[in-house]
Amino acid sequence: MQIFGVDIGGSGIKGAPVDLDKGDLAQERCKVLTPHPATPDRVADGVKQVVDHFGWTGPVGLTFPGVVTGGATVRTAANVDSAWIDTDARALFGDRLGGLPVTVVNDADAAGVAEMHFGAGRGRRGTVIVLTFGTGIGSAVFTDGVLVPNTELGHLELDGHDAEKRASSKVKEDQDLSWEQWAHRVGRYLSHVEMLFSPELFIIGGGVSRKSRKFLHCIEGVKAEIVPAQLQNNAGIVGAAMRAAGAGETTAAG
């Protein structure tokens, strides 16, 4: 079974048909740059460009980098234009895609359900936290495989700032931090999250998961197990497609 997934990020909009039996992309993904300013209309145009690239005519799952309630309404927009707040994203994208069935979910939640079902979280019980490091820091919290949606732990305060303003991968690039310097900040952040939630496992996702050997060994002071995401930067696309297919509410697998 194939469903189309689109992952909307602060820097790029990427999508592809997803093979839901394998939990992998069925074709090489298409990516366009996220427009700036990332207004609803301009982002919707980018999504249409990605979907049209494949001539897709079926259901589409989309991620959004912020809180999405009721499967439709955007409540926060930290890394896109503030005009998104209170937008009915499902109606907007459905209209722009010519009436195709559309599902919208928080981006980290989508990545999390994919990683829990097909990746590093498969079969894991207890509290598992998936963190995606990119333009910001997204989070997905699971208890015995069940998602607690829209947690937005990237906005916890760390050293007097939003954590994602100190420890996202964008900050690493912008401040030209070494992997060791950045890992120290990530470790402080993980320690703070661990103090609040006491997870058994952290799964580190986003683009940096491809380079986990450069920094995971530098993270200190965290008791929980820390592993890289197995689906890496495709997890959001896969998770978006899963939610469009009605999967991913409970993700623990034996």
Per-residue pLDDT of the chain (254 residues; tens, 9 = 90+): 999 999 999 889 999 999 999 999 999 999 999 999 999 999 999 999 999 999 999 999 999 999 999 989 999 998 899 999 999 999 999 999 999 999 999 999 999 999 999 999 999 999 999 999 998 999 999 999 999 999 999 999 988 999 999 999 999 999 999 999 999 999 999 999 999 999 999 999 998 999 999 999 999 999 999 999 999 889 999 999 999 998 655 444 43
Enclosing domain of residue 67: 2-109+237-244
**Are both 52 and 147 inside the same structural domain?**
no
- 175, burial (CB in 10 Å: exposed 0-12, middle 13-18, buried 19+): exposed
How many domains does the chain contain in total?
2
Same domain, 27 and 84: yes
Indicate whether 139 belongs to any domain: yes
The size of the chain, in residues, is 254
Residue 69 lies in a domain: yes
- Which residue(s) pair with 62 in the sheet? 6, 104
Three-state secondary structure of 77-130? CCCCCHHHCCCEHHHHHHHHCCCCCEEEEEHHHHHHHHHHHHCCCCCCCCEEEE
Does residue 36 sit in the same domain as residue 73? yes
Predicted pLDDT at 207: 87
Return the DSSP state at 145.
T
How far is the C-alpha of 120 from the C-alpha of 205, rounded, in Å? Answer: 10
pTM surpassing 0.85?
yes
Residue 253 lies in a domain: no
CATH of the domain at 181: 3.30.420.40
* pLDDT on residue 78: 86
Backbone φ and ψ of 51, nearest 5°: -65, -45
Asked if 95 and 130 sit in the same domain, the reply is: no
β-pairing, 102-106 vs 127-133, is unpaired
Give dist(CA 75, CA 87) in Å, integer. 8
160, 218: one domain: yes
pLDDT at position 248 is 58
- Residue 106's identity, in one-letter code, is N
Residue type, 75: R
pLDDT at 233: 87
Do both 92 and 135 map to the same domain?
Answer: no
User: Is there a contact between 111 and 229 (Cβ–Cβ < 8 Å)?
Assistant: yes
Q: State the pLDDT at residue 51.
A: 98
- Does 116 map to a domain? no
Same domain, 131 and 198: yes
Same domain, 8 and 56: yes
- CA gap 249, 216 in Å, rounded: 29
The continuous run of DSSP H or E covering 8 comes out as strand 2-8
Q: Residue 249's pLDDT is what?
A: 55
In a domain, 117, yes or no: no
